[in-house]
Structure 1
Amino acid sequence: MSNTNRIFFHDNPYPLGHTLEEFVWSARVDPERGLLFDFHLVTNSYYAEDDSDDNEDVDSDWKSKTVWGNYHNCILSSTEWHSGGIVMGTSENKFDFSKFNHETLITDQLPLGDKFDFQDLAFYIYLLGHDSCCDHKIVLNRNPDNTFEISWTGKIARTYYGDYEFKHSFEANINKVKFDGIYFCYGLSEEENLKILQDCTVDPSIFKIADNKFEVLNY
């Protein structure tokens, strides 16, 4: 079985991981933050490839198939519930999309610090309830056909159960990912969105406007 287009939650009761129903890599403009990358991941049901309950002699909910089955599937996203994401370009540090080939994105590194607000995390996660995730490392490598191979790791705290320690980890591997474009900020005009993009990128001429977003030309 291939390890691509799957996510693995280490030491959970499904060592072969979980297939992905949806994965979107996009960007958006924000009048206060600049140009941001967004990632949105949805799994198929946890039990899609194994609906047995043959491991119920376990020492924690994390290892119980019954518990996982109660929550059905995972959503890991910077857009589903809030406006998170990773800042890629600002007026002071412009983003050069033409040079984006092999990159590693890091956000919300541990330790978070005593004054950190969980509401400010780049990504939210629904896992076993609405939990929390941080310490993200997202590696993107461009293929000759301009798709990307993506490897994404991070840490999880079961905050839905009141446990704020990031003691669990995940790894996702996704192949042949196409960039979905740069979405407008809702409520701003086309001209206002373009102005933000121009302020935050090295060469805004490589973008064209289509369906409330900017597409990348020759990419």
Structure 2
Amino acid sequence: MEHDRIYFPGNPWPEGHPVERFRWSAVETDGDVWFGIHLKSARYYSERRVHEDEDDLSAWASPTLWNNYHSCTISTSEWHGGGFRVCEAAEFSPEFLDGLELLVDPNPETVEDWEDLAFQSYVLGHDNVAKHKIRFERIGDSKRFKIIWVGAHAQSYFGDDEFTQEFSVSMSSLEFPELNCSSSYRSSNLENASGMVCSHVLDEQAPILYVSRDKNEGMWRFLCGPEDHKAEQSREITLGEAARIDASLNALDEMSPGIGAARESATDEWTPFIL
């Protein structure tokens, strides 16, 4: 298994697919450390086009079907506030993590609401993943780690909730995540207030440079710039989650509806304006 790839055994690409983005985060909640992971693959056909030669292929083996869904995302944060517990905060260190193997959602049949799973996924449509085994291996004495991750996939988008398909991920060198406090938003009453963030920020392609509050509903928006964004580029986020991405947002905690703030770069001060 090569590094920095995701594999779906039995699909049309036995060589797997490149991982385009992988974000690994750690947050302290009530004295415990929880991990978040966001993975996005390159397009399934980015390295090799596969044509369908047979008419009776299963959905899992059909290149046409995989091509229609383009790429996969498996995430603890893209569609819900997921994640998984690692240890007590006092234990958290590179030494503790080295060689640690975690089982996440090992018994999905006992879960009543799929929203309670640690991860949500988009593979062949919005499916489900569970039965994860995630292992962390330290690289020498550095603060970098390899991650070996295997799990099971259910084709829920097609009405099949049985976790019969497998996937695996191998990442070669990831930075040990800095531990953040779960209550990162200065105004605790706004910690869980909902807002919208653009996918460019969430996928770490760009910093937050434009913030606004709708003058009618008061909805917060955290964007990479003032340009219009398509609906499919918007994701729901809490203010606490946004502040963990960029702590400078705390300076805007008293911003009223109908007001916005912008800056030229992530190191500049926020400049308020009226919408």
TM-score calculated relative to the size of structure 1: 0.78
Letter in 1 for 2:69: Y
Q: Which residue of 2 aligns with 1:38?
A: 36
Matched, 1:107 2:142: no
Q: Which residue of 1 aligns with 2:174?
A: 177
Letter in 2 for 1:146: K
Q: Which residue of 2 aligns with 1:146?
A: 143
Letter in 2 for 1:166: F
Matched, 1:95 2:130: no
1:90 Cα deviation (Å)?
4.9
Q: Which residue of 1 aligns with 2:185?
A: 188
1:50 Cα deviation (Å)?
1.3
1:107 Cα deviation (Å)?
1.0
* Structure of greater Rg: 2
Please list, as runs of the form range in 1=range in 2, the aligned pairs for 1:38-187 lying within 5 A after superposition: 38-90=36-88, 94-97=90-93, 98-110=95-107, 112-113=109-110, 116-144=112-140, 145-185=142-182
Secondary structure, in 3 states, of the residue corresponding to 1:3?
A: coil
1:184 Cα deviation (Å)?
4.2
Distance 1:68 1:84, change over 3 A: same
Q: Is the 8 A contact 2:12 2:50 kept in 1?
A: no
Paired with 1:210 and 1:126, the residues of 2 have a C-alpha distance of 23
Q: How many residues align?
A: 191
Letter in 2 for 1:52: V
Secondary structure, in 3 states, of the residue corresponding to 1:172?
A: strand
How big is each residue's C-alpha offset from its partner over 1:170-211, in whole Å with a ceiling of 9 and x where there is no partner? 0111101112323443663399xxxxxxxxxxxxxxxxx995
Secondary structure, in 3 states, of the residue corresponding to 2:177?
A: strand
Secondary structure, in 3 states, of the residue corresponding to 1:66?
A: helix
Distance 1:176 1:90, change over 3 A: closer
RMSD of aligned residue pairs (Cα, Å): 2.7
1:57 Cα deviation (Å)?
3.6
Paired with 1:55 and 1:183, the residues of 2 have a C-alpha distance of 50
Paired with 1:111 and 1:168, the residues of 2 have a C-alpha distance of 14
Letter in 1 for 2:159: G
List structure 1 runs of 4+ shifted beyond 3 angstroms.
54-58, 183-188, 209-213
Secondary structure, in 3 states, of the residue corresponding to 2:160?
A: coil
Secondary structure, in 3 states, of the residue corresponding to 2:109?
A: coil
Q: Which residue of 1 aligns with 2:218?
A: none
Q: Which has the higher contact order (CA 8 A, sep 6+)?
A: 1
Identity over the aligned pairs, expressed in percent? 35
Distance 1:151 1:55, change over 3 A: farther
Paired with 2:67 and 2:169, the residues of 1 have a C-alpha distance of 20
Q: Is the 8 A contact 1:152 1:173 kept in 2?
A: yes
Paired with 2:108 and 2:74, the residues of 1 have a C-alpha distance of 21
Q: Which residue of 2 aligns with 1:27?
A: 26
Letter in 1 for 2:247: N
Which stretches in structure 1 are left out of the alignment for 5+ residues? 192-208, 214-219
Please list, as runs of the form range in 1=range in 2, the aligned pairs for 1:197-216 lying within 5 A after superposition: 212=247
Secondary structure, in 3 states, of the residue corresponding to 1:50?
A: coil
